Amino acid sequence: MLNVHESDVDVMIGLECHVQLNKLNTKLFCGCSSDYQNDPPNTHTCPVCLGLPGALPVINRKAVECGIKVALALNCTIQEETLFYRKNYYYPDLPRGFQISQYDFPLATGGIVHLEGEKGREIRINRVHIEEDPGRLVHKGAIEQAKYTMVDYNRSGMPLLEIVTEPDLKSPQEARQFLNKIRNILEYLDVFDGNLEGSLRVDANLSIEGGQRTEVKNISSYKGAERALLFELTRQKNILRRGKKVVQETRHFDEARGITISLRTKEVEHDYRYFPEPDLVVMRVGGWVREIERSLPELPDAKLDRFLREYGVSPVHAKVLTSNIHLANFFEGVASMIDPAFCTRWIADILKGELNYRGVGVERIAQPDFIDLMKLLEEDKITDHGAIEVIRTILDHGGDVGEIVREKGLLKAEIDETEIAVNAVIEEFKGAVDDYRSGKREALNFLVGQVMKKTRGRADPDHANKLLIGRIED
């Protein structure tokens, strides 16, 4: 029997990530606009993506270029000859009864993704292929109770990349880290906007050493991936703990309830009856690779190395700063005006923390505003505390730095104003001064508080503290 402890179980997780190439103007096989997110259902369709008889698909060249870019960024080999297949199954989201996908002869194979960490890990990519997105199914209320399904084909035919890993991931946390890395790379390549609804969907397989693997479908977010896999891992551990065996099966992740449910699917691989799509001819894109390779932007790993060299930031900070293309660009803009050693802490620790807390992107704060704020700090015109308040105000309500500083009176008081207040406080609160002299340390806090009150919070508390001690001990 397997002995199952938290630490010594050997977990193997493989992912199939479906990412929508949602920066393209049109769908994969037709000219319907891909900008459907805010439009009513079935307003972005045509005979091709509705699967009407006789309609012929023609591949979007740009989608293939994007696919090659991604595959190269994942260190894959682009195949000389690549083919589309029909994957046959009847489901309302597929108007033709088959999905145009790839099977043998995918676009690219055999890549590597590096994950940062204490040891650093290499996750092998099995393949990258292109396929079309099915339509979107909508149910009134819970799917189990719905009397019927409503279908919107606006999404039908959107270009998807399927990125398949080898079962190299060792924990749900690592799976999430991998997905974040993929998102980051795709956003660096400017082929993907991860904020759009439905832009990422994941199927995951998980097994514990010696057991059968289960496949979890219907994961649609980064957080969801970790939760689904944690649930599945615990479920499998519990089965093993009871001395039973995990059965190989497909399970459905119920995001609202955070659990996986057995699907009892009757379809197996050969039921898809894959065969070459007769309406599409062979693609030979090996000749495109060199030029696309040359056009690739700096990718996260390379940028991280450069930040270490060029700005002398710590590895932890370099990782945070390059974890998102917008944040990396923001940092470089600020660092061109402000000492990098100084602004790194403010961007990677403080600003990033405030952004994470709110779940928003760095677009919320304008670069010139942030530079103004850093200058105030460098010139010692504002306290750290005051600067954090400015950042929070901008993120929550907007506004510009100068205005917020004036409105909230955040500029530091001039030194002499603090001195005057210190002298006045010593005169006024003789009792507290005596208490301090006789060893009551807390009395000093009270006196500092009084100075802050007199200066309406503009004094630097450290400075007031020093002045008070100086005066009292004179």
Partner 1 sequence: MISDEDVKHLGWLSRVELEKEDSEKFARELDRILDYFTILDAVESDLSPLHHVLELSNVFRDDVVADSLTAEEALSNAKLQENGYFRAPRIL
Positions touching partner 1 (CB under 8 A) are 24-26, 30-33, 40-47, 50, 58-64, 83, 88-92, 105, 138-139, 143-144, 146-153, 266-267, 271, 276, 278, 280-285
Rg of the Cα trace of the chain? 29
Query: Which two tokens mark 451?
Result: 């100075």
Given the rule CB under 5 A, which of 30-38, 295-303, 305-313, 326-334 is the region that contacts Zn ion?
30-38
Cβ partners under 8 Å of residue 13, min gap 6: 167, 169, 170, 171, 172, 174, 175, 204, 205, 206, 229
Query: Which two tokens mark 145?
Result: 């109770």
CB nearer partner 1, residue 284 or residue 466: 284
Q: Please choose which of Zn ion, partner 1, none residue 147 contacts, taking the beta carbon within 5 to 8 angstroms, the exact cut-off set by kind.
A: partner 1
Distance CA 286, CA 47 (A): 31
30 binds Zn ion (CB under 5 A): yes
CB of 33 to Zn ion, least distance (A): 9
What x-and-dash track marks residues 351-390 binding Zn ion by CB under 5 A?
----------------------------------------
CB nearer partner 1, residue 22 or residue 393: 22
CB nearer partner 1, residue 24 or residue 347: 24
Given the rule CB under 5 A, which of 48-56, 105-113, 169-177, 419-427 is the region that contacts Zn ion?
48-56
- Alpha carbon 432 to its chain centroid, in Å, reads 53
CB nearer Zn ion, residue 48 or residue 444: 48
Of residues 171, 282, 152, 292, the one with CA closest to residue 227: 171
CB nearer partner 1, residue 92 or residue 398: 92
Distance CA 50, CA 27 (A): 12
Q: How many CA atoms lie within 13 A of 287 on its CB side?
A: 2
DSSP 111: E
Three-point CA angle 193, 195, 201, nearest 5° = 85
Query: Which two tokens mark 453?
Result: 């009150």
Q: How many CA atoms lie within 13 A of 134 on its CB side?
A: 18
Identified binder of Zn ion from the candidate list 9, 32, 73, 373, rule CB under 5 A: 32
304 binds Zn ion (CB under 5 A): no
Distance CA 243, CA 386 (A): 59
3-state secondary structure of 405: helix
Q: Please choose which of Zn ion, partner 1, none residue 278 contacts, taking the beta carbon within 5 to 8 angstroms, the exact cut-off set by kind.
A: partner 1
CB of 185 to partner 1, least distance (A): 21
Q: Please choose which of partner 1, Zn ion, none residue 414 contacts, taking the beta carbon within 5 to 8 angstroms, the exact cut-off set by kind.
A: none
CB of 197 to partner 1, least distance (A): 17
Q: Do the bridges between strand 136-138 and strand 11-20 make them parallel or antiparallel, or are there none, so unpaired?
A: unpaired
Counting residues that bind Zn ion (by CB under 5 A) gives 5
CB nearer partner 1, residue 279 or residue 363: 279
CB of 78 to partner 1, least distance (A): 14
Q: Please choose which of partner 1, Zn ion, none residue 43 contacts, taking the beta carbon within 5 to 8 angstroms, the exact cut-off set by kind.
A: partner 1
CB of 93 to Zn ion, least distance (A): 15
CB nearer Zn ion, residue 29 or residue 307: 29
Query: Which two tokens mark 109?
Result: 């194979």
Query: Which two tokens mark 297?
Result: 């932007």
CB nearer Zn ion, residue 32 or residue 240: 32
CB of 204 to partner 1, least distance (A): 21
Q: Please choose which of Zn ion, partner 1, none residue 149 contacts, taking the beta carbon within 5 to 8 angstroms, the exact cut-off set by kind.
A: partner 1
Measured between alpha carbons, how far is residue 87 from residues 143, 155, 300 in Å? 25, 18, 35
Q: Please choose which of Zn ion, partner 1, none residue 89 contacts, taking the beta carbon within 5 to 8 angstroms, the exact cut-off set by kind.
A: partner 1
DSSP notation for 70-99: HHHHTTPEEPSSB--EEEE---TT-TTSEE
24 binds Zn ion (CB under 5 A): no
CB nearer Zn ion, residue 134 or residue 167: 134
Distance CA 464, CA 455 (A): 10
Distance CA 22, CA 45 (A): 16
| Residues within the interface to Zn ion (CB under 5 A) | 30, 32, 46, 48-49
